Structure 1
Amino acid sequence: MPFVRVSYMENEHDKDSLSLVSNTIMEALMKEFNVPEKDCFQVFHSHKKEEFIYAPTYLLRNDRSNCLLYIQITCGPGRTQQQKQSLYKELANQLHSQINIPKEDIFVVLVETSLENWSFGDGLAQMII
């Protein structure tokens, strides 16, 4: 049930690389969070350079670049710290190896919400019925 938002600077990623980013995120979620294969909901947002702001070195050994991806994953609760750490590592490793995005440019934020806060349509909270 994760809902994923990916923000990036316009012209830094083409449609083919964004498709790979999407697939990589989904594969990592299936592997590390046991998300079902068809449970894929993602939105990609491009931003003009003046709208995309980041600190190049904050908490890193190397600088971030304009290839930076902000990946926000909203999901239900219940994953362990180990699962979360494994997800972050899997995303960084796979996006680097498959698309050559520097690991420093994979910025992930997990937002956990309780199950009653989700409706997948039909005016129902399917996860608590």
Structure 2
Amino acid sequence: MPLIKIDIVEGRSDAQVKTLLDAAHRALVDSFEVPERDRFQIVNEHPASRMVIEDTGLDIPRTRNVVVVSVTSRPRTEASKVKFYQRLCRELQEKCGIDPSDVMVSIVINSDADWSFGHGRAQFLTGEL
């Protein structure tokens, strides 16, 4: 936990997707200080015509490399969120060649009661985590 969902335009190789996931995980571990094995990631690939990611009037150019990262997490500080945005862009640029203008992030916060990691239990509430 956190859970990361990444939406991309289809066409990347398995190796490229793995590199992208590894980069996102490094940014998360560093910024949110979660354990290394706290890794929950889902990738959704779409035809280019199914991803319309404009810039809200900010004049941010987008390409076929656009990556939309959705994070569902327990509460985090504003500073850790900003650190995550910056670290994620740096990792994706350095390791994947994805320009920061092609990275969009949304973080959704929930509570301990909103998580079950299996066996029908709420591990944060039961004290297992």
Deviations 1:38-68 (A, max 9, x none): 111111010112211121x435454111110
For 2:105 and 2:7, locate their aligned partners in 1 and report how far apart those are by CA, in whole Å: 11
- The residue correspondences of 1:1-129 to structure 2 (distance < 5 A) are 1-11=1-11, 13-55=12-54, 57-58=55-56, 60-77=58-75, 79-129=76-126
For 1:72 and 1:109, locate their aligned partners in 2 and report how far apart those are by CA, in whole Å: 5
Deviations 1:69-100 (A, max 9, x none): 011010111x2111100000000011101111
TM-score between both structures, scaled by the size of structure 2: 0.92
For 2:5 and 2:119, locate their aligned partners in 1 and report how far apart those are by CA, in whole Å: 23
| Total equivalences in the alignment | 126
Structure 2: stretches of 5+ with no match in the other structure? none
C-alpha RMSD over aligned residues = 1.2
8 Å CA contact retained: 1:7, 1:47: yes
Structure 1 letter corresponding to 2:102:
D
For 2:52 and 2:95, locate their aligned partners in 1 and report how far apart those are by CA, in whole Å: 25
Percent of aligned pairs sharing the same letter: 28
For 1:19 and 1:59, locate their aligned partners in 2 and report how far apart those are by CA, in whole Å: 32
Structure 1 letter corresponding to 2:110:
T
